[in-house]
């Protein structure tokens, strides 16, 4: 390699230019099977308005951005530490206040109130539906996966399986499947809630008991496969699940107790309140769990399984417990989805879905309940916004390009997430300074 290429500043500039080229490619127009080069040529050749001034080809924009960002990074490298210290000293007091227990409860209560009032301000039907189907339900799912990935430290890539169990259980007991319903009666989805949650938890135990003996990386790949297999079965067992066409006519929730009569209809807002109530329920339950004996056992297993075992904690038992408890909220999310959309369809329950939920948990912060909620709300809102008003050249599947990149970026720059769990942050810090036994990877020379 020539000497000038090894020059550090130049190397940084080239790395940045490469990264910017990828950004241009990702945000550029799509190609197609007929014109596979259109994406590349369009990404650099298409005319764009330069800061709203005059049209230039994207490659000019790309070069300009590269230079600007390089300049900013250089500034950050020289003055960043001072800036960071300044910000830290400014936020020191507010942070200390925010960490007080009473303040945290106050913030939580305020969030609940805001959540309850939200449908008053969001009147666009698209967003009202999105609030239920794409945000509230995903919050539930993120809460569940956070128990598995965050609390117990188990990477489950087939989490969608439990959501599918919940949805199909609902369809089953309400009589919407080709399979004859339980007890031969068509139940109201309210009765499906305990059944679906129970079946999802049972599925957690059944899937977990054999697989949770495995090491972390094997577990990830096995759960990935299980998620795919559940999809295959649901998709092909026409006589039981209705096959790839899915099955409709899942009834809405309804209440009919004496004077109290109410049917959740097509309108999303009543569903929003119902889901919100359950979100609060799960948040409270999981927070209590986190600091209970069980939660502490999970922490112990996650930090050092051998040490935990020597203290009399049965790792398999607690891991299966995490799987099954995490599955509970996914099962309930399945009930809501099935009842609200009136139908179940295998096309939802793919591996993409599991990854999507994983991104919410990672982005928010593994092991942090607030993080799971924030992650789900932020990412799902952005992804819904992209569907609502797509930028030029954006296709719905492109979301996964961004989510994939986000996973890498989070792991490199902020592995503990946006709203980190303190304990988790400390663990990662310890592992990185060479202490602790959080399944570290030992290879590689560390400068």
Partner 1 sequence: MIHYFTSHFATLRLEFWPLLVGGLASGFIYSMVAIGYTLVYGVLRLINFAHSEIFMSGGFASLFLLRAVVGNSQPSGFESVLLVGLGVLAGAVAGGLVAVLVERVAYRPLRRRRAPALAYLISAIGASYFLFNLAGKEFGRNYYTLPILFINRPVFSIFGASVQLYYLVVAGAGAAMLVLLDRVVAKSRLGRGIRAVAQDAETASLMGVNIDRTIVLTFLIGGALGGAAAFLYGIQSGVIYTMGFTPALKAFTAAVLGGIGNIRGAVLGGLLLGVVESLSVAFVSGAYIDVVAFSVLVAVLLFRPTGILGERLGRAA
- Contact at 8 Å (CB) between 204 and 324? yes
Closest CA to 200 of 361, 7, 310, 331: 331
Whole-Å CA distances, 412 to 71, 98, 408, 422: 22, 27, 6, 18
Q: How does DSSP assign 371-392, residue by residue?
A: HHHHHHHHHHHHHHHHHHSPPT
Task: Establish if 230 lies at the interface with partner 1 (CB under 8 A).
Answer: no
The Cα–Cα gap between 179 and 141 comes to: 26
Among 115, 144, 153, 295, binds partner 1 (CB under 8 A): 153
Task: Establish if 445 lies at the interface with partner 1 (CB under 8 A).
Answer: yes
Q: Give the interface segment with partner 1, choosing from 101-109, 126-134, 318-326, 424-432 (CB under 8 A).
A: 424-432
The Cα–Cα gap between 410 and 209 comes to: 31
Task: Establish if 224 lies at the interface with partner 1 (CB under 8 A).
Answer: yes
The Cα–Cα gap between 135 and 63 comes to: 37
CB of 271 to partner 1, least distance (A): 30
Quick one: how far is CA 160 from the chain centroid?
Answer: 11
Closest CA to 279 of 142, 160, 168, 417: 142
Residue with tokens 């507010």: 94
The Cα–Cα gap between 253 and 273 comes to: 12
Among 220, 269, 285, 313, binds partner 1 (CB under 8 A): 220
173 or 319: CB nearest partner 1: 319
Q: Which of residues 91-120 bind partner 1 (CB under 8 A)?
A: none
Q: Give the interface segment with partner 1, choosing from 34-42, 126-134, 338-346, 371-379 (CB under 8 A).
A: 34-42
Among 17, 25, 67, 378, binds partner 1 (CB under 8 A): 25
CB of 52 to partner 1, least distance (A): 26
Task: Establish if 432 lies at the interface with partner 1 (CB under 8 A).
Answer: yes
Binding mask 356-375 for partner 1 (x = CB under 8 A): --x---x-------------
Task: Establish if 428 lies at the interface with partner 1 (CB under 8 A).
Answer: yes
Among 406, 418, 419, 426, binds partner 1 (CB under 8 A): 406
Q: Give the interface segment with partner 1, choosing from 88-96, 173-181, 220-228, 255-263 (CB under 8 A).
A: 220-228
**Distance between start and end Cα atoms, the chain:** 22
Among 17, 60, 182, 214, binds partner 1 (CB under 8 A): 214
The Cα–Cα gap between 43 and 55 comes to: 14
Total count of residues recorded for the chain: 447
Task: Establish if 213 lies at the interface with partner 1 (CB under 8 A).
Answer: yes
Task: Establish if 443 lies at the interface with partner 1 (CB under 8 A).
Answer: yes
128 or 425: CB nearest partner 1: 425
- Directed axis angle between helix 268-290 and helix 101-121, to 10°? 170
* Burial bucket for residue 62 (CB in 10 Å: 0-12, 13-18, 19+): buried
Q: Which two tokens stand for residue 196?
A: 């679906």
185 or 409: CB nearest partner 1: 409
Q: Which of residues 385-404 bind partner 1 (CB under 8 A)?
A: 395, 397-398, 400-401, 403-404
Number of residues that bind partner 1 (CB under 8 A): 65
The Cα–Cα gap between 265 and 252 comes to: 6
Q: Give the interface segment with partner 1, choosing from 52-60, 227-235, 260-268, 312-320 (CB under 8 A).
A: 227-235
Among 225, 304, 386, 419, binds partner 1 (CB under 8 A): 225
Task: Establish if 415 lies at the interface with partner 1 (CB under 8 A).
Answer: yes
Task: Establish if 36 lies at the interface with partner 1 (CB under 8 A).
Answer: yes
Task: Establish if 59 lies at the interface with partner 1 (CB under 8 A).
Answer: no
Task: Establish if 411 lies at the interface with partner 1 (CB under 8 A).
Answer: yes
Whole-Å CA distances, 376 to 95, 139, 403: 23, 5, 12
Give backbone dihedrals phi and psi of 187, rounded to 5 degrees, phi first: -90, 160
The Cα–Cα gap between 373 and 376 comes to: 5
Task: Establish if 305 lies at the interface with partner 1 (CB under 8 A).
Answer: no
State the sign of the Cα–Cα–Cα–Cα dihedral 391, 394, 400, 406.
Answer: negative
Task: Establish if 442 lies at the interface with partner 1 (CB under 8 A).
Answer: yes
CB of 45 to partner 1, least distance (A): 14
Binding region for partner 1 (CB under 8 A)? 25-26, 30-34, 36, 39-40, 153, 155, 157, 210-211, 213-214, 216-218, 220-222, 224-225, 228-229, 232, 235-236, 351, 355, 358, 362, 395, 397-398, 400-401, 403-408, 410-412, 415, 427-428, 431-434, 438-447
């Amino acid at each position: 390699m020539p000497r000038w290429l090894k020059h550090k500043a130049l190397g940084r500039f080239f790395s940045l230019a490469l990264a910017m080229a990828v950004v241009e490619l990702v945000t550029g127009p799509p190609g197609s099977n007929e014109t596979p080069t259109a994406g590349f040529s369009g990404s650099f050749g298409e005319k764009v308005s330069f800061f709203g001034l005059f049209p230039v080809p994207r490659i000019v924009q790309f070069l300009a951005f590269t230079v600007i960002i390089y300049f900013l990074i250089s500034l950050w490298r020289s003055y960043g530490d001072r800036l960071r210290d300044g910000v830290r000293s400014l936020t020191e007091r507010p942070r200390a206040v925010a960490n007080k227990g009473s303040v945290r409860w106050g913030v939580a209560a305020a969030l609940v109130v805001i959540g309850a009032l939200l449908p008053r301000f969001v009147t666009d039907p698209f967003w009202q539906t999105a609030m239920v189907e794409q945000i509230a339900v995903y919050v539930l799912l993120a809460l569940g996966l956070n128990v598995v990935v965050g609390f117990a430290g188990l990477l489950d890539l087939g989490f969608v399986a439990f959501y599918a169990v919940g949805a199909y259980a609902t369809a089953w007991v309400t009589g919407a499947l080709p399979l004859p319903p339980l007890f031969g009666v068509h139940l109201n989805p309210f009765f499906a809630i305990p059944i679906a949650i129970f079946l999802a938890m049972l599925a957690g135990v059944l899937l977990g008991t054999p697989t949770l003996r495995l090491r972390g990386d094997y577990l990830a790949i096995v759960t990935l496969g299980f998620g795919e297999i559940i999809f295959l079965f649901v998709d092909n067992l026409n006589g039981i699940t209705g096959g790839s066409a899915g099955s409709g006519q899942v009834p809405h929730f309804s209440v009919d107790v004496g004077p109290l009569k109410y049917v959740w209809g097509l309108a999303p807002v009543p569903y929003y309140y119902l889901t919100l109530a359950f979100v609060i329920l799960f948040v409270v339950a999981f927070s209590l769990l986190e600091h209970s004996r069980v939660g502490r056992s999970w922490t112990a297993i996650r930090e050092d399984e051998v040490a935990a075992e020597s203290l009399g904690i049965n790792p398999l038992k607690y891991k299966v417990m995490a799987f099954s408890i995490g599955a509970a909220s996914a099962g309930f999310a399945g009930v809501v989805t099935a009842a609200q959309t009136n139908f179940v369809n295998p096309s939802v329950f793919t591996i993409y879905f599991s990854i999507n939920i994983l991104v919410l948990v990672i982005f928010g912060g593994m092991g942090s309940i607030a993080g799971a909620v924030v992650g789900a709300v932020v990412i799902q809102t952005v992804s819904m916004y992209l569907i609502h008003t797509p930028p030029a050249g954006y296709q719905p599947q492109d979301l996964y390009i961004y989510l994939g990149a986000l996973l890498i970026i989070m792991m490199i720059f902020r592995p503990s997430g946006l709203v980190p769990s303190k304990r988790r942050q400390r663990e990662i810090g310890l592992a990185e300074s060479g202490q602790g036994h959080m399944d570290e990877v030992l290879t590689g020379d560390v400068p």
